[in-house]
Structure 1
Amino acid sequence: MPTVPRRGLVALAVAALLGTAACGGTEAPPASAPSASAQEAWSWTDDRGKKISLPARPERVVAQSASAAALWDFGVRPVAVFGPHRLKDGGRDPEVGEVDIAAVESIGNTWGEFNVEKFISVRPDLLVSGMYLKDSLWYVPEESADAIEQVAPTLGVLLGGKKLTEVIERYAGLAAALGADLNAAPVAEAKSRFEAASAQLRESAAARPGLKVMVVTATPDNLYVAYLPDHPDLAYFKELGLDVVSPASPTESEGGFWEVLSWENADKYEADVILVDARAQSMKAGEMAKKPTWSELPAVKAGQVYPWRAAERYSYLGYAKVLEELKTNVDSAKDDVVG
């Protein structure tokens, strides 16, 4: 008996689900994308080098929560999201930004959770996700990738190893291609706010040239120190004059982004200020306080530990808020806590 190739099995499963959706499955919510004409053929080459060609501009966009948040700020209204968007108490996860989570469908909320049947039911035209690694769509499970691609084309926006402003402008360009008006007052105001916040942080950094800042995330077993070249936000902080401590190279097993330290070596780098990953999956500063080597770090003893908004959406509004918060913390920090 001949076997059906894996892609054939995926096609059969998708066809069955499409049939179910067509026969009275969950009704898709109305699209709320911008109202400009979408009848002309549409194309976009994403950051994998993949060209997406459609007979009309995509109206029904499904996006990973951080991408959804960025697009939302530029005026695009996705019909569904996946990735962190709803907290345990029902509130909005910071990663999803200003997205109205009551107005969009949920395809999945945690890592590895992606409901293909629900994805089909919203009749998507396009899926958008960020990529920390060039060919890996964030929060898209590898085992579901074939099925997802057969329902709607996927589009990846590369995040790692690029300038912050380049990533923001890439989302802005995509939003415009999806029909958003980049001259709309909220978008223009957010850009002006971002530019002002950048200038103000530059002034604060210049006033404290000796202030050293380290950025970390942590697990019970290890402390991870951010490798600056792979993080667009940290590279931008450096560009504005902040002295961000960075390892010479990342730990090879991490594929970039981090140097992994045992807790015994948590004091490898000196810093006046430590920014701690604010994402839910990272250890909180209170939990890290149980580690003796953490508690002895000069920045910790000085009370100069602040949040790092690692999951912030790549929009002018998102990073205006980040820069404003960082300026406040830099202005309040002493720059002489390490020798």
Structure 2
Amino acid sequence: MSISRASQLSRRGFMAAGGAAALGALISACGGGDGGAQAAPGGGAWTFTDDRGKKIDLKARPRRIVTYVGAGAALRDFGITDQIVGVYGPAKRQDGSADPQAGSLPVDQLEIIGNAYGEFNLEKYAALRPELLIDNMFVEPNLFYVPAESADKIFALAPGLAISTGAITLTKPIERYAQLAAALGADPKSAKVAQDKARFEKAAESVRAAVKANGGLKVLACSGSADLFYASSPAKNTDLIYFKELGVELITPDRLNKDGYFEELSWENADKYEADLLMLDSRTQALQAKDLASKPAWRDLPAVKANQVIGWNPEPVFSYAGCAPILEALAKTIRTARKL
């Protein structure tokens, strides 16, 4: 979410009238709201309470899960490899390679229900016979990338499970995905998870040390589009909240949007906040530094002139493996940056 312009992106229609009729038949065939769950080996019901306080009850541990791509990437890092059968959200880039937000997910082996905001192919989804849908939740109670106009049909096929990823510190969603993965059958004490956590904690301490060694740097998290420059609030994004806890001096914009995630600035006002270091949105939908190079307002920013710009993913993979490299890169940048 954060600097995502989700509210500004048009949502596409999903199905023609004939497709909608076919979907109705598929919903009936899949068992409607019970998710089509079948008894797993060993039997036993499965229950999990999500971050909306919603209790999900299934007849057995789900074996056919569809997730938002970032949610699936987090679960895979915690050991869930076989149950995920489909994903939606930024899975592949235009050249066919995996989108960075897919993390370690084998996207070529998964059904992609939709690859951009507003895309969610209901017929493909129903054909997967989903037992559970898992998503990030930036603004309660909305599941990220689940189109509101199709939500009823989507949740008629399988219950939705939300993990909160907004306005809390980074470690909270990581811990929740670890808990969810364990509930889905992963080993929370595996050697890999232990190694990933140790790397994450070491990286966090390296950020603290870098700030102490080179304090006073003013940092602005931002994103660029053709018409607007977005300045992000460190009070909403989980990673920025955590960076601030580690001592990073993040600038807080003073005229935030209604959800409190960012301030929209015309390019003429892109220099409103004096920053020594810019953290630039690195997601596929945002313009990158090379794309912004033609804009004088971008080139004239002191941090850009000083080559003090670091890539920033406002939607990190919420796992220790996904976030440790981010902290390591931030620590390295802070150690070598200078006040302007």
TM-score normalised by the chain length of structure 2: 0.87
Alignment of 1:8-27 (within 5 A): 14-18=23-27
**Residue of structure 2 aligned with 1:295, choices 287, 292, 299:** 299
Looking at structure 2, the residues matched to 229 and 37 of structure 1 have their Cα atoms a distance apart, in angstroms, of 45
State the distance in 2 between where 1:12 and 1:178 align: 33
For the pair 1:305 / 2:286, whether they are aligned, the reply is no
Contact 1:278 1:309 (8 Å CA) reproduced: yes
SS at match of 2:108: coil
| Structure 2 CA distance for aligned equivalents of residues 174 and 72 of structure 1 | 11
Alpha-carbon distance in 1 for matches of 2:21, 2:56: 24
Aligned to 1:111: 117
User: Residue 284 of structure 1: which of 282, 288, 313 is its match?
Assistant: 288
- Alpha-carbon separation, structure 2, partners of 1:256 and 1:13: 41
Equivalent residue letter for 1:327: A
Distance 1:18 1:210 in 2: 57
In structure 2, the residue matched to 1:53 is 57
Query: What residue number does 1:200 align with?
Result: 206
1:317 aligns with 2:326: no
Q: Paired residue for 1:127?
A: 133
Match of 1:264 in 2: 268
2:227 to 221, 225, 238: 221
Q: 2:174 aligns with which of 163, 168, 188?
A: 168
Counterpart residue number, 1:136:
142
- Contact 1:227/1:249 (CA < 8 Å) preserved in 2? no
**Cα deviation, residue 212, structure 1:** 1.2
Q: Which amino acid aligns with 1:265?
A: N
Does the aligned pair in 1 maintain the 2:66–2:130 contact within 8 Å? yes
Correspondent of 2:103 among 91, 97, 101: 97
Is 1:63 the counterpart of 2:67? The answer is yes
**1:44 corresponds to which of 41, 48, 64:** 48
Shift in alpha-carbon separation, 1:75–1:128, aligned structure 2, 3 A: same
Could you tell me how far 1:289 is from its partner in structure 2? Answer: 2.7
Query: Would you say the 8 A contact 1:216–1:225 is kept in 2?
Result: yes
The answer to whether the Cα contact below 8 Å between 2:68 and 2:87 also exists between their aligned partners in 1 is yes
* Map of 1:28 onto structure 2: none
1 or 2 for the larger relative contact order (CA 8 Å, sep ≥6)? 2
Gaps of 5+ in 1: 1-9, 23-35
Amino acid at match of 1:16: A
Task: Return the letter of the residue paired with 1:206.
Answer: K
Alpha carbons 1:42, 1:57 under 8 Å: kept: yes
CA separation in 2, counterparts of 1:38 and 1:15?
33
Q: Does the 8 A contact of 2:99 with 2:284 survive in 1?
A: no
CA distance in 1, matches of 2:292, 2:63: 45
For the Cα contact (< 8 Å) 1:14–1:151, is it kept in 2?
no
What amino acid does structure 2 have at the position aligned with 1:117?
Answer: E
Q: Between the two proteins, what is the percent identity of the paired residues?
A: 46
Partner deviation per Cα, 1:113-158 (whole Å, 9 max, x = no partner): 1111111111111000101111211111112211111111111111
> Which SS does the other structure have where 1:225 is aligned?
strand
Displacement of 1:299 after TM fit? 0.6
Secondary structure of the equivalent of 1:307? strand
Local SS of the residue matching 2:107? coil
Q: CA separation in 1, counterparts of 2:41 and 2:247?
A: 44
Note if 1:85 corresponds to 2:91. Answer: yes
Paired amino acid for 2:172: E
Alignment partners' CA distance in 2, 1:21 and 1:154 = 15
In 2, Cα distance between equivalents of 1:100 and 1:57? 22
Contact 2:30 2:129 in 1 (8 A): no
Q: Which residue of 2 aligns with 1:145?
A: 151
- CA change 1:209–1:257 in 2 (3 A) is same
Q: For residues 34-65 of structure 1, give each alpha carbon's deviation from its aligned partner in whole angstroms, at most 9, with x where no partner exists.
A: xx956221112212222211111112111000
Mapped partners of 2:134, 2:148: distance in 1: 15
Instruction: Choose from 323, 327, 331 the match for 1:327.
Output: 331
Query: Residue type matched to 2:214 in 1?
Result: R
Q: Which amino acid aligns with 2:26?
A: L
Q: Which amino acid aligns with 1:128?
A: I
Task: For residue 18 of structure 1, report the CA deviation from its aligned partner.
Answer: 4.6
**Cα distance in 2 between the residues matched to 1:18 and 1:261:** 45
Q: Aligned partner of 1:325: which letter?
A: A
Choose which of 180, 184, 194 in structure 1 pairs with 2:186: 180
CA distance in 1, matches of 2:41, 2:134: 21
Which amino acid is the alignment partner of residue 217 of structure 1?
S
User: Displacement, 1:286?
Assistant: 2.3
Structure 1 runs (4+) greater than 6 angstroms displaced: 19-22
Question: Looking at CA atoms only, which structure, 1 or 2, has the larger radius of gyration?
Answer: 1
CA contact (8 A) 2:271 2:301 kept: yes
**Counterpart for residue 236 of structure 2:** 230
Give CA deviations for 1:227-277 in whole Å, capped at 9, x if unaligned: 11101101111111111111245233xx22101111111111111110100
2:163 matches 1:157: yes
